[in-house]
Structure 1
Amino acid sequence: MGQKLPDIHKDALAPIDMVRYSGASGDFNEIHTVPKVARKKGLKEPIVHGMLLMGWAAEAIEEWLPNRKLAKFTVRFVGMAHAGEAFVIEGMLTTDNAGELQIKDASGTGKLMGSFELV
């Protein structure tokens, strides 16, 4: 089998979105919100919280398959995401009850890869 799921496009995150997510998640590590701190740590600019990307991935599964329940969900972060980048979430059902997804930036660089199983 192999059924491609519709791409989901996410607008670019603004720096304030990163600050808001820090507050909502309780993750106040400044590499996500303060450019000077991020650069001091060797990053070109603040990076998007990995859990924000993971949340988008879970949300995509729910959007694609709204009447199904998630039994297993795994992700691997494969690249750093930054504010100002737009993203696309791509998915594929590999069987009736399983699939794979990935989040890429507009240039096609991978940020997250994952798999899921449904009941």
Structure 2
Amino acid sequence: MYLTDRWSHLNKLEKKYLKEAMKAYDKIIESEDDILKIANRYQLNFEDIERAKQYAFGKGVLQNQFIPDLRMAQSWERMTLGEEIDSDEVLLKHEILESDLVMNQGLNQLDAHKIAQNEYPWSIIITKGDKQK
């Protein structure tokens, strides 16, 4: 099955310790109403949200050998539920830009991530937020 296959790049230990994040990613991919909710909430293009979702949580995971990040999944879930925090919109715009650069403009993932991180530094914002607690 597709959902299981996309984790084939992870070793047994990674699969064991990332199980919660992997389940959260699977839940996102199985969701059918999240894209429309998020697009409406942020007044963004449906296709951009759909592309970002597939890139970050779906097909892009195996293609780019992404390690599942529970914080990303939690952010997506909050946006779907209308319970977003400020950093969630930064993540969304980061993934929209990065997925566009890779999927539509042919950039490699690392360069696309650097560009997206410059404009929408989600991982820096959440790291600072975590340290302040």
Please report the TM-score for the alignment, with normalisation by the length of structure 1.
0.30
Specify which structure has the higher proportion of helix: 2
Q: Which has the higher contact order (CA 8 A, sep 6+)?
A: 1
Specify which structure has the higher proportion of strand: 1
